[in-house]
């Protein structure tokens, strides 16, 4: 039996349906000075590769909430081996704050015999050099709820209490059927498993397409956590998932509402300015050698459409930040290489 490994340490066995390993380090950083891991500006470092959709969501939320000064960020390069993500983009191949070459070192500093995948995003305690959590589902929720003291003025309310009863089922749908659904297609171990995954994915996308017919964002007139979670899959869809993961009933650009919605988000500060299309493509097409043994990275598709008019502001009104304000421009350290952006496709 042959195993194929995905970017989060999960695998699929030939002939079977893809199963994601969802056992993570579930420690939380809390707004409680007596907690094992208390909120403390400057103490923690977020490790998040631009290529990874799960990590990308933490980068977006950190930007939207203005937590750049409170939580520093380290960014591994787009490729990794079975051992770990590496800091190959940094000088001397080491994270300049943690001083490590591989993220694996931070996991082993906490758990010397850590048996699972070395995944991003991960939050590392700088004084000890040990990983605190890699629970990507909870990390962004805690950035919203536990780090309020460090939010910028005008930061959005991404997980408002009065909407959670409606949001939580939508979060579950987006994770199981879309975020994970594209992987279920790409890592299917049989034709039957692939076709089942394919149907589930596009049924969910059709449901979201219908929902966005009558509202600007998934919860109404302003952005929330669910928009962040859907966006990181949508922004990778045509560039990677359509071809690489065989999610090819139709492209994102063929969904009128989803495509306009995705462009609306992409052009909102904090979303598109975190997206590195070159690293995204390099990651999937180079790392997944079972799917793409030649490791050839496609040149296309043309990405300039991400900057085209979406018309959803005129159609629905509202504002991404409601009564708040957008974040300022990213710092030089947080900025994407201009050659890796949608603007690079405009001649």
Q: Which residues are catalytic?
A: 52, 183
> What is the C-alpha separation between 208 and 258, in angstroms, rounded?
7
> What is the C-alpha separation between 330 and 276, in angstroms, rounded?
14
93 three-class SS: helix
CB 234 within 8 A of CB 262: yes
Q: Which has the closest alpha carbon to 179: 52, 28, 11, 27?
A: 52
CB 320 within 8 A of CB 267: no
> What is the C-alpha separation between 40 and 57, in angstroms, rounded?
21
Quote the tokens at residue 31: 């707004």
Partners of 44 in beta bridges = 125
> What is the C-alpha separation between 162 and 39, in angstroms, rounded?
25
Helices (H), 136-276: 136-145, 164-173, 181-186, 191-211, 225-236, 242-244, 256-266
> What is the C-alpha separation between 199 and 202, in angstroms, rounded?
5
Edge-to-edge, what's the strand order for the sheet holding 122-125? Answer: 72-74, 44-47, 122-125, 130-133
């Amino acid at each position: 039996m042959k195993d194929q490994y995905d970017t989060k340490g999960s695998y699929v066995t030939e002939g079977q349906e893809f199963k994601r390993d969802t056992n993570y380090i579930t420690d939380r950083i809390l707004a409680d000075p007596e907690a094992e891991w208390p909120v403390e500006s400057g103490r923690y470092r977020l490790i998040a590769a631009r290529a990874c959709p799960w990590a990308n969501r933490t980068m977006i939320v950190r930007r939207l909430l203005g937590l750049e000064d409170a939580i520093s960020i380290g960014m591994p390069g787009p490729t990794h081996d079975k051992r770990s993500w590496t800091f190959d983009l940094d000088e001397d191949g080491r994270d300049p704050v943690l001083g490590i070459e591989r993220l694996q070192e931070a996991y082993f500093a906490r758990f010397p015999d850590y048996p699972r995948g070395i995944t991003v995003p991960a939050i590392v305690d700088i004084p000890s050099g040990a990983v605190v959590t890699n629970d990507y589902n909870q990390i962004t929720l805690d950035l919203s709820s536990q780090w309020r003291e460090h939010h910028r003025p005008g930061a959005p309310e991404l997980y408002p209490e009065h909407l959670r009863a409606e949001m939580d089922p939508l979060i579950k749908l987006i994770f199981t059927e879309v975020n994970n659904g594209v992987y279920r297609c790409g890592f299917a171990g049989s034709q039957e498993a692939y076709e089942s995954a394919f149907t589930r994915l596009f049924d969910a996308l059709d449901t979201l397409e219908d929902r966005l017919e009558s509202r600007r964002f998934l919860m109404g007139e302003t952005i929330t956590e669910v928009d962040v979670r859907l966006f990181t899959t949508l922004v990778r869809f045509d560039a990677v998932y359509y071809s690489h993961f065989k999610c090819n009933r139709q492209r994102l650009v063929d969904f009128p509402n989803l495509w306009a919605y995705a462009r609306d988000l992409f052009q909102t500060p904090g979303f598109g300015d975190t997206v590195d299309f070159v690293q995204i493509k390099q990651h999937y097409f180079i790392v997944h050698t079972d799917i793409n043994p030649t490791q050839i990275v496609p040149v296309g598709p043309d990405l300039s459409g991400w900057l085209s008019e979406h018309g959803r502001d005129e159609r629905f009104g509202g504002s991404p930040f409601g009564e708040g304000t957008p974040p300022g421009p990213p710092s030089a350290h947080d900025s994407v290489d201009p050659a890796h952006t949608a603007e690079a496709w405009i001649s």
